[in-house]
Structure 1
Amino acid sequence: MPTGLTYVVTGGCGFLGSHIVDLLVERGTDISEIRVVDMKLRGYTKAPGKSGVKVKLIRGDVTNMAEMTEVCAGADVVIHTASLIDVFGLVSDATLWDVNVKGTETLLQCCVNEDVTGFVYTSTQNTIGPNRRGDPVDDGNESTPYDSSSLPLYYHVTKRAAEMAVLRWNGRSTNGGKTLHTCALRPGGIYGDGEMMTLKIWREMGVDPFAGPLQRISHPDVIGCCAYVGNYAWAHLLAARTLLTLPGNAGGEAFCITDDTPVQNELSTYNDICAPIGIRWHDSLLLPLWVLYLIAYLLALLRFLLKPFYDFVPRLTPGVLTLVNTNFYFNYKKATRLLGYKPLFTWEESKRRTREGLMAWKAREFSQTSGAAAFVSKSG
């Protein structure tokens, strides 16, 4: 394996990206520089685990060819985690396509132009489904037959298109006569210490999660699988190493990634993690599922009617209900076989780390006396 490697991590200040950067510093081998690329930069504060690893923060837009050319110049590996995540329809379809698809294609072209030989793309299991019918997948793998022709969210349509582009570019010759090797990793649900999507949604909606049981819109019998962010990050490191050392194992391949978090209802997993610090969910649905769907479709109709005058964006949609009420989970056997992936963090350690992160978040966002008022003030 060559020495003095330069890694590029797009979205490197985000939830997953920051954990990838941490692990590259702590456990990466033969790395001289890590270029952390993001639109919103946050300082890297962890002490380097290895001497001589330079962490460089770069503000950059993945849709900008000139900026990404500079970012990729002299790099060996690009780990592309940056994307716009939108499950409610807050972002226009055109913007989602520009960032998630065209931005990925821009990076791929820069890799070819600048002789980058490894490209790891953060995809999602939702590039496969569930479809609008809610057809389930239980303990599936990358070869499981599935009708993914009608994904319920446009965000997932863009992620699928970007993943397909990444895999198509595998094996292309670079301008300097090298070969670009690409692969895609498909995480499922994600939790961990840091800015989880759940925390962002609570902040945006002004919800006080400590005021009492949170409402449930997923049926308790629905089974899914989520995994700890550190294990997803570890899979990215292994994929990058494999592309550099054994590209025949990973090049042109997609890998479903999960860990040893119990396969159960996702809110049961969150209850296991959060209950000791005072966050829990109701045991039963807010309303019967058919009523929730009826409300969601009526809200969708209302949004359509109001669109010429006002951008009404409901948080309850038919697509969201389908996502959280469909059995849909995969195993990581292919990643173990071809990437050597095994979870780096146990379920118990993942719980502990996440719980400690939530406690720190609680201390920042809440005071003992002001409660929800302080939260709403900060989030508004």
Structure 2
Amino acid sequence: MPGWSCLVTGAGGFLGQRIIHMLVQEKDLEEIRVLDKVFRPETRKEFFNLKTNTKVSVLEGDILDSQYLRRACQGISVVIHTAAVIDVSGVIPRQTMLDVNLKGTKNLLEACVQASVPVFIFTSTIDVAGPNSYKDIVLDGHEEDQHESTWSDPYPYSKKMAEKAVLAANGCTLRNGGTLHTCALRPMCIYGERSPFLYNTVIRALKNKGIIDAISKFSRANPVYVDNVAWAHILAARGLRDPKKSPSIQGQFYYISDDTPHQSYDDLRYTLSKEWGLRLDSSWSLPLPLLYWLAFLLETVSFLLRPVYNYRPPFNRHLVTVLNSMFAFSYKKAQQDLGYEPCVTWEEAKQKTSEWIGTLVEQHKETMNSKTQ
């Protein structure tokens, strides 16, 4: 395969940064364009200091700016689209999420057509598959099962509709007469160093005498380590660029998991942080059906108050369902079509993530000591 170039959106994010670090090791990759709305200074510095012969171009721009996207896509061979607004608790306005996650994806697809980019890889999410009820049990799900979220909440809805747009665009004619090839990857809940989900968990616990909120004791899931998700994106890019592999991948979606043991999200957070003295809240909690209907009540109150007061419930039915369902998926199809095998074992992932959590604990101690002096 000849020299190629890649644009990665959401490049300053948790997953985007890992994809960049793997991409620079790819043979014949001549240029990476890293795109995000705003880069933190340390992230920008990290990209500039990458030890690689590949040209790294740092682009700051809005995914809603169609003209900017078209310029960013000029001369590009592969687009990896990870940029998204992730929010399952109702903090971010619905329209913002629809604009970025759905309209932004459509803008990028159109930019690829106009700039004749032949390969488009979309970072989707397990949320587009469900779960739709905490009573549903899926412990070895497959792509053929056709699971689909029925939630109208902005995150699962916007990602589901964006994924549909990406897969429907497969086979589109490009401006130069070529053909657009697309696929989508659906990672499980992603963990690892710098995970915003874990960072918030640890900071809250440290402010609460080391006690981790027990919010998902009824769940059984298979979380996936961030490097393994990044690796799946590299393999998808290779596959769609390879004339032999590409036909079986085009227009397909893939669940991306690894060999992390099936467990509750609470157990995962405890396992990764127990070495540093953090522990799960052992106090009594509401039964799951009661918690669900309490969420419904709080959503109703929020709806009724909306004309006069913007009340945001601490949790909603979607969040209760996602965090307390038995919902796990196999990576067998990605293994068959992409040649995907997790590049980091559970033991390695656990050690690396735990060590990072240890740095957060030490930083917290130093901060507290400086305040008392």
Q: Normalized against structure 2, the TM-score is what?
A: 0.92
Alignment partner, residue 337 of structure 2 = 338
Within 5 A, what are the aligned runs for 1:36-55?
Answer: 36-41=34-39, 42-45=43-46, 47-50=49-52, 52-55=53-56
Q: Distance in 2 between matches of 1:160 and 1:288?
A: 30
- Counterpart of 2:254 in structure 1 is 255
Equivalent residue number for residue 176 of structure 1? 176
2:357 alignment partner in structure 1: 358
Q: Secondary structure at the match of 1:130?
A: coil
Q: 1:36-81: per-residue Cα shift (whole Å, max 9, x none)?
A: 111121314265353x112221111111101101110111111000
Distance 2:79 2:159 in 1: 17
- 1:17-166 matches, within 5 Å, as 17-25=16-24, 27-41=25-39, 42-45=43-46, 47-50=49-52, 52-132=53-133, 134-146=135-147, 148=148, 150-151=150-151, 153-166=153-166
Please say which of residues 312-321 and 359-368 is displaced more in the overlay.
359-368
State how far apart, in whole Å, the 1-side matches of 2:146 and 2:252 are.
16
Give 3-state SS (helix, strand or coil) of 1:45's partner. helix
- Quote the offset at 1:133 in angstroms: 6.2
Distance in 1 separating the partners of 2:316 and 2:307: 19
Aligned 8 A contact 2:202 2:212 in 1: no
Q: Give aligned-pair identity as a percent.
A: 38
SS in 2 for 1:316: coil
- Corresponding residue pairs, total: 366
1:219 CA displacement:
3.1
- Amino acid in structure 1 at the alignment position of 2:174: T
Check whether the contact 2:134–2:326 (CA below 8 A) recurs between aligned residues. no
Q: Which residue identity does 2:83 align to in structure 1? A: A
Residue 134 of structure 1 deviates from its aligned partner by 4.1
Q: Residue deviations 1:185-234, cap 9 Å, x none?
A: 0001111011422424776xx653661322313234x3111010010000
Contact 1:62–1:99 (Cα < 8 Å) also in 2 = yes
Structure 1 unmatched ranges of 5 or more: 375-380
What is the CA–CA distance in structure 2 between the aligned matches of 1:172 and 1:248, rounded to whole Å? 14
CA RMSD, Structure 1 to Structure 2 (Å): 2.2
Q: 1:201 to 1:36 in 2, by over 3 A?
A: farther
- 1:226-375 to 2 correspondence within 5 Å? 226-245=223-242, 246-282=245-281, 286-367=285-366, 369-370=368-369
In 2: Cα distance, 1:332 partner to 1:202 partner: 29
Does structure 1 residue 13 correspond to structure 2 residue 15? Answer: no
Compared CA separation, residues 232 and 278, structure 1 to 2 (3 A): same
How far is 1:358 from its partner?
Answer: 1.7
Match of 1:377 in 2: none
Partners of 1:219 and 1:289 within 8 A in 2:
no
> 3-state SS of the aligned residue for 2:173?
coil
Q: Residue type of the partner of 1:190?
A: I
Whether contact under 8 Å (1:258, 1:331) holds in the other structure is yes
Q: Residue type matched to 1:97 in 2? A: L
Query: In structure 2, do the counterparts of structure 1 residues 9 and 32 end up closer, same or farther at CA, with 3 Å as the change threshold?
Result: same
Please state whether the residue corresponding to 1:224 is helix, strand or coil.
coil
Say which is worse superposed, 285-294 or 9-18, in terms of deviation.
285-294
Q: Using a 3 Å threshold, how does the CA distance of structure 1 residues 370 and 290 change in structure 2: closer, same or farther?
A: farther
- SS in structure 1 opposite 2:155? helix
**What is the alpha-carbon distance in structure 1 between the residues aligned to residue 231 and residue 189 of structure 2?**
16
Q: Does structure 2 conserve the Cα–Cα contact (< 8 Å) formed by 1:142 and 1:256?
A: yes
Secondary structure of the residue that 2:259 maps to in structure 1? coil
CA distance in 2, matches of 1:152, 1:208: 34
Cα distance change on mapping 1:119 and 1:366 into 2, 3 Å: farther
1:77-106 Cα shifts (integer Å, max 9, x gaps) = 110000111101122222211111111011
